[in-house]
Every structure is written in structure tokens, then in C-alpha cells.
A and B are shown apart, each in its own frame.
Chain A
Amino acid sequence: MTSPEARTVAVWRKLVPFRVHVKGQGPAVVFFHGPWGVTWDAFLDALARRFTVYAPEHPGTTPGEPETIQHVQSLWDLVLCYDELLDQLGVSTASFVGHSFGAMVACEVAALRPSRVGKLALLDPIGFWRDDAPVVNWTLVAPAELPKWVFHDPDGAAAKKLFAILEDREEAALARTRLSWAMGCADKFVWPIPDKGLKRRIHRIEATPTLLMWGEHDRLVPLVYEQEFRRHLTRARVEIVKRAGHAPHLEQAAEAATVVAQFLAG
């Protein structure tokens, strides 16, 4: 796996410097990461074999730039920041892939300018609310328990990588801080209930070909939410990934990448 290029693109009157991981060749794919930040992983690397993958870091999650989040006050600000970013990257059309919180952001950015978006792949997305199946607030879960909530196998390699306990004290303190801060930066746009009006705007992307991918054992966002998304997205199909929780692209990277790449290429 070769490292992606890290490109910094400042938007929002240069107050929001997005760091974007870029790799690959072919049609553009933009990846919107979830509430725990982004690291270049096997899933993104596999996509980069067929596509040019752009993986921006959500404001505030870039190492050394935690205060950037203060310049993005609302979901509307956030959507426009991404719109400016894609303009500056020269990405006039792209497919969007989003995970969890990032999938909600992907839908919102797509709904702003539907003509920009070819296809949409949503991995365990949030964005709706059902009283009979509440989305679990990851911030209120005990930190030590979080791997159990995010992964089907909390002792597996993917869980160990995302929630690594580092030996070096300074590195460990930084990692804990970044992980917690990344959740805070996502929570800013979804607290306390992740239904922030997507239901009123999602009709704008109703006809976008959409893949809904769900980990079979997602404990944070119950599988019933695929019904909510399908109700609004008439061309959506569902793909369930076995032996995966809330992050199928991390836990079953090869399978998830194959399914997503075939969908995007098809």
C-alpha cells in the first residue's frame, strides 16, 4: 500500500484548511469519513485501484488544527465548506461514499448540488430517527466499551487499529485526545438526535443510484434504518455485510471494497 498524497485546500475565506488524502486514477470518488476520523486504509486503497479517491478530513480532525471546527458553526456552513472544497479540487462530478456521520454529510452535500453526484454509497449511514429504534449516541458509551459497539469483533485487527492502545505515553495521550475530539467535532452537527432535516432535503437526490451497505451486526445504527433511506431513495439497493458491525469497510475491507467498487463502476 503506497501512501496517498496529502493535499491541503483552504476554503471558507481560508479559515477552514481541509487536508485531503488523494490517491488513484480514474473517475473521482469522494469519501466522507465517520465520527472517528480518517486513516488511509485497505478499503480506500482498494477503491484507489479503479478510482481517484479524495478523502477529506472533517474540520477539526486534522492533526494540529483542532480549532478549525470553531469556524464551522452549523450544518449549512459545513455543507457549503464541502461544496467550496470540491470546486477547488476541480471535482465537477464524482461519486460519494460516506460512512456513518460522513454518510449523512455526503447526502447533505449531494442534496445541495445533485448534478455533481454520479452514484452514492452509504455505509451504515445516520441522518434519520425512529423512536422504536434509537440510534446509539457513541459519545455516551464508556470509552472502554466503544470497540464492542463499533465492531462485530471487538478483538479483531480492525478494532485494534482504530482503538489502538499505544505504549508511548505521549502518543497514547495524543491518540486518545484526537479520537475524543473527532467525536466532538461530529457531534457538533448531530447532537443529541441525528435527525437534522435530511428528511426534508433528501428528495433532491431521490433518483441518484444508491448503495446502502450495512454491517449485519451494527449495534449503533440498527438495520431498520435501511427502510428509512429506501423510502426516500427510490433507486437504492441494500447490501448486508456479514461478520461486520458499524464499520463494514474496516472489518471486512476486501468484501466491502469489492461490492462498492462494482457498484460505482457499474
Chain B
Amino acid sequence: MKICAFHLMPHRELPADFEQRYPSVWVTPPWSELADARRVGQYYNWTLDELLAAARAGFDGVCTNEHHQNAYGFMPSPNLMGSVLAKQTNDLDVAIVQMGMTLPTTTPPIRVAEEYGMLDCISGGRLVAGLPLGSPMDVNLAYGITPMEHRERYREAFELVLKAWQAPDIFAWNGKYFQLAQVNLWPRPIQTPHPPVWVPGSGSISTFDFAVERNVCYCFLSYAGGKAARTMMQGYWDVVAKHGLDANPYRAGFLQLVAVSETDAKAEAEYARHVEYFYHKCLHVPPHWLSPAGNQDYRSLLAANRNPVRRQENTKELRYRDFLEKGYVIAGSPATVRDRLMDEVVKALHVGNLMLLVQIGSMPHELTLKNIDLLAREVLPALRDVWEDEGWENHWWPERLRKPRRDPVGVA
């Protein structure tokens, strides 16, 4: 089992009536009314300190990702964060998991191959290369990419990046979206033939096929928890089986929100408002922005219109105890969190690469460190050896880090 600490770098101090006053947390929230650059500098430093604390405390990896024009998670460049993390963890067996630099918005996309090459060199071969499609809000709304071209552009960029890492000689790329007469990548990554590739998704079936056909790790980045993900993840494992591939749990990653305290009651007292802040404010986006016309192919669009998946729950109407009960969030004492993670996520979804969102919404720095500390000392040791006994090899993890980490020490 590999367990990473994931961070969104959210705005932690949005006004109480944010979701009533503003139409969206993404694309349109006015910076001048809502943010202060000096305070935001503090957020970035807290984020780095929290991820470094997780790395030292015993997590197997640290994850950052890319989003634009929003207060939900604003690391427009995950690699700026990743480079600090890589340098500062050179003495630790920790993976730098970039979840990552968005392909369709990076022009030319060999920039992704180059920067990931740098990170792999700086970290001594500890990079996990997330190659995300990017959300419609980031790619279509904030960065102006035509919805109908979003996926095709991603696929071309993906092939180009993989080739740039591996081609022994200079090559020309005469693509539909990108034309480069002489691709000659400097630097190349340490890991050969290339760093492990993770493809994050939000449950779209076409992404299952894409990931399986390329034998990469599919990561379901869900905020609805393991219970709600069962059908979806079973769909992924069905595609894996259909392609005649083994059910290696490390083919899958899953993101789960977690909050640990000494007791269940104390967890509620400490974390309830931060969990509600996350679901009420950080996910405050007009639902139709998630699927602008043309972003889905015609077949998927028709399928979605014929069989609307169960009506998306309005998370603004749910409170802490609902989120807990429905499994959106796993929170409570170390024993509660251990058991629920094991049952609802690891075993139920057959997942080898677990990402834990350790900082949720408005959660302050000190409380985040406490969450990380209790997770590392009280939860991780019980999960670490899962799958080891079955003899699965994590081909989607840096080779030099594949053995279980044996040094969970907590936050010093």
C-alpha cells in the first residue's frame, strides 16, 4: 500500500456568506474582494510546511495539483511547489507525486516533459508523473481551450510527452495541435523508460479505456468517498479485466478526505466546520460548467442524457454528520478512520495507491499538522502492509521507493 498526503492549497478564510454572495468559487471570484497577496503567501508556505511535515512523518508521497482562477485550490503551477518538496525531501524515501501539470493547457506540451524531467533529476528519481486532462473550468473557461478539442488535444499531448521522454534520437512532431520540428528533450528523467504515469479522472468511462490501454495508473479523484465510488471503480476493474490485465491494486488510485482526532467526538468538535466549509464553499461551482457543450463526445453525452446518473446530491444541504455517514469524509478516532479506510476504500475499491486529503477547506495550520501526525502514527502503520502479503508489485511507483517505508515517526 502506498499512502500519499494530498493538498489543494485552498483559500482558508472565505467569508461566511461566500456562497450566497458570489456565483462561483471558480473562474469568477474577485481577487480584490476576497484575497490578500501577503496572506496568500502565508497559505503557500503553510501548504509546503504541511506537505513536508507529512513527508517527514512517514507518508509515502506528497501530492500537488494544478488549478486556475479559483479559491478552491490555487496552485497554477504544481511544479513550483513540487520543486521545493523535491529538494527538501532528498534525504527521505518519499515520492513527489505531481497530479499534476495539465496537458491541454501547456503549450507546447513538451514543457511538461521538461519540467517533470527536472523534478525527477532534482529528486533523484522519486517523481510520479500525473498527466491530467484538467477540469473544464481550468481548461475551457480559464484557459480558453475549445471544449470540443479538449480531449483530443490531451491525447496528442500525452503521446508527445511519452515519446519525448523515450525517443533516443531527435524527432519531428507534426501533430494536429502541436508542431515541433526538432524535439530533443533536456533534461531526461532519471527513471527509465520514464517516470510512472498516473492519469487522474473523475469517473468518465472514456478515461478508463485510455488508462487501461496505456497501462497507467488510473486515479479517481472523488470528493464523494468510497461508498459512492464502488460502481464507478468496479467499472474500471471491469475494463481492466476485459483487456486481460491482472487485478493489480496498484493500477488504481483513490482520493479520500480524512480527519483524525483522539476520539470521534473530538474530531467532530475540531473538524466539522472545516468539512462543511469545503463542501459548501470550495465546491461552489455552477453544475453546467462541469460539462460545457462539446466537452463530452456525442455518444457519452447521449448516454448521460438517457440515463442521468443518480441526481447529484446537493452538498450544500448536507452537514458534517451527513458527510460522515455517507462516506464523503472519513473522520474520527484513529481506530474509526483505520477501519473505515480499510473497509470502504482500500478493500472495497481494491486500491493500492491511496491519496489522503489531509488539509480540508478552512482547516488551520496547527490542526492540519495534528491530522497529519495522528494519521502517520496511528493510521498508516495498520494500512501499510495491505497488498504486500498478496505479492503485488507497484509498477506505478518509483522503483527505488517500492519497499514499504518503516519509519513512521509522526510530526516532530
Q: Judging by beta carbons under 8 Å apart, are B294 and A187 in contact?
A: yes
CA distance A181 to B144 in the complex (A): 19
Q: Judging by beta carbons under 8 Å apart, are A170 and B306 in contact?
A: yes
Nearest-CB residue, chain A, relative to B291 = A180
B141 to chain A: which residues have CB within 8 Å? Answer: 140, 192
Q: Judging by beta carbons under 8 Å apart, are A191 and B306 in contact?
A: no
Within 8 A of B (CB), among A181-196: 181, 183-185, 187-188, 191-193
Interface size class of B (residues with CB under 8 A): 20 to 34
Contacts A140-B141, A191-B144, A191-B146 given; indicate if A183 touches B293 (C-beta within 8 A): yes
A187 to chain B: which residues have CB within 8 Å? Answer: 146-148, 292-294
Question: Chain A: how many interface residues by the 8 Å CB criterion?
Answer: 25
Q: Judging by beta carbons under 8 Å apart, are B298 and A139 in contact?
A: no
Segment at the B interface, from A66-74, A89-97, A105-113, A220-228: A66-74
User: B303-314, CB under 8 A of A: which get 1 and which 0?
Assistant: 001100000000
Asked whether B288 is an interface residue with its Cβ less than 8 Å from the other chain, the reply is yes
- Nearest-CB distance from B265 to chain A (Å)? 41
User: B166-189, CB under 8 A of A: which get 1 and which 0?
Assistant: 000000000010000000000000
Segment at the B interface, from A22-30, A38-46, A148-156, A171-179: A171-179
Asked whether A142 is an interface residue with its Cβ less than 8 Å from the other chain, the reply is yes
B245 to chain A: which residues have CB within 8 Å? Answer: none
Contacts A73-B176, A170-B306, A184-B294 given; indicate if A139 touches B301 (C-beta within 8 A): no
User: B130-147, CB under 8 A of A: which get 1 and which 0?
Assistant: 000000000011001111
CA distance A73 to B177 in the complex (A): 10
Contacts A143-B288, A188-B149 given; indicate if A67 touches B294 (C-beta within 8 A): no
User: B275-292, CB under 8 A of A: which get 1 and which 0?
Assistant: 000000000001011001
Q: Judging by beta carbons under 8 Å apart, are A177 and B301 in contact?
A: yes
Q: Judging by beta carbons under 8 Å apart, are A180 and B293 in contact?
A: yes
Asked whether B382 is an interface residue with its Cβ less than 8 Å from the other chain, the reply is no
Asked whether B228 is an interface residue with its Cβ less than 8 Å from the other chain, the reply is no
- Nearest-CB distance from A196 to chain B (Å)? 11
CA distance A113 to B148 in the complex (A): 29
B149 to chain A: which residues have CB within 8 Å? Answer: 188
Q: Judging by beta carbons under 8 Å apart, are A188 and B294 in contact?
A: yes
A73 to chain B: which residues have CB within 8 Å? Answer: 176
- Nearest-CB distance from A173 to chain B (Å)? 4
Contacts A73-B176, A142-B286, A183-B294 given; indicate if A191 touches B302 (C-beta within 8 A): no
A66 to chain B: which residues have CB within 8 Å? Answer: 298
Chain A residues within 8 Å of B, Cβ to Cβ: 66-67, 69, 73, 139-140, 142-143, 169-170, 172-174, 176-177, 180-181, 183-185, 187-188, 191-193
10 contacts between A and B (CB under 8 A): A67-B298, A140-B288, A173-B302, A174-B305, A180-B293, A183-B293, A184-B147, A184-B292, A187-B147, A188-B148
